Amino acid sequence: MQTPNQAKTLDVLIPTYRRPTALVTTLASLFGQTFRDFDLVIADQTEPEYAVDRGELLTLRRAFELRGQRVQYIRRPHRRGMAEQRQFLLSQARAPFILYLDDDLLLEPEVVERMLAVLRGERCGFVGMAPIGLSHVDDVRPHEQQIEIWDGPVQPEEYVFETVPWQRYKLHNAANPLHLGQMYARDRVVRYKIAWVGACVMFDRQKLVDVGGYSWWPELPPEHCGEDVLAELLVMRRYGGCGVLPSGVYHLELPTNVPNRRHNTDDLIRKYLGSLRISGGSSGG
């Protein structure tokens, strides 16, 4: 029997900001997972004047704790950007596997179990399950569905900035994950090649730490995007990573909390992965 201080198999790490109702939805779907050997760490950057102790959130926290799942709820009102927030969450984790989960998702009951089975089976650095935008359920986009399914074990993919197959991001637009799952993963779990996955990504914690995690966060302005792209590319080049179908993750389709998209991690990707222009064409970075 596990003691309260014993680490679980998985830590679920949730950054949140001004989304109490969405957060409750996400937590409720986590409470219904078939896999339960996880604790939670929630880092809330909502300003004190907007923070509210809601009964729904308190009830869910108590329900998790009643069945032996710790919920660490940390208020962090000083915003230094998503990369710093993710690095903080990583520093709180103790489990061998971690799941970064956005605060505006609805998960089917087998999502965590399915992702963990793939990550353990492949022994790669991370797996991702792309969220589905259900407002696009009838918006079928065959021109964005050029999927590359892994044939054999997931392998590291070494890229420099100019050679990353960025076009793979289109697989995750709109309801593409749903339509791809219907085509390729009706009766099996499919692993496919990605550029990156957002919102729902499970890492082997030590492998993420080995490549530095998000320790480069001070090199970004407080308002930025793309921190998940750089972290995943760094893990992918050493340990490999993949997407998982079928996806059982649904996006609540709320407005982004980072409306200013001018500052991304392109320059840092060039710095940490290398560039053809400065590396003489080396594919190893």
User: Cα–Cα distance between 220 and 216 in angstroms, integer?
Assistant: 8
3 domain residue, yes or no: no
The answer as to whether 170 is a domain residue is yes
- Output the pLDDT for position 47: 81
d(CA 166, CA 157): 13
Assigned domain for 207 exists:
yes
Percent of the chain predicted with pLDDT > 70: 93
Q: Which two tokens stand for residue 266?
A: 């392109």
> For residue 285, is it within any domain?
no
CATH of the domain at 258: 3.90.550.10
Residue 1 belongs to a domain: no
What is the average pLDDT value for the chain, to the nearest integer? 92
What is the tally of structural domains in the chain? Answer: 1
> In this structure, what are the phi and psi dihedrals at residue 73, rounded to the nearest 5 degrees?
-110, 115
Classify residue 152 by its DSSP letter: S
| Tens digits of residue pLDDT in 55-96 | 899 999 999 999 999 999 999 988 888 999 999 999 999 999
Q: What is the pTM of this model?
A: 0.93
Amino acid at 277: R
Asked if residue 143 belongs to a domain, the reply is yes
pLDDT band for position 261 (cuts 50, 70, 90): low
Q: Is residue 231 part of a domain?
A: yes
Amino acid (1-letter code) at residue 207: K
Q: What per-residue confidence (pLDDT) applies to 33? A: 98
Q: Kindly state whether residue 5 falls inside one of the protein's structural domains.
A: no
Q: Which residue range is the domain that position 222 belongs to?
A: 10-279
HSE-up of 84 (CA within 13 Å, CB side)? 15
CA gap 66, 148 in Å, rounded = 43
Q: What is the pLDDT of residue 279?
A: 37
**pLDDT for 209-225, tens place per residue?**
999 999 999 999 998 99
The pLDDT of residue 126 is above 60: yes
Distance of CA 188 to the CA centre of its chain: 22
Report residue 3's pLDDT band, with 50, 70 and 90 as the boundaries: low
- Find the range with the poorest average confidence among 2-11, 75-84, 120-129, 276-285: 276-285
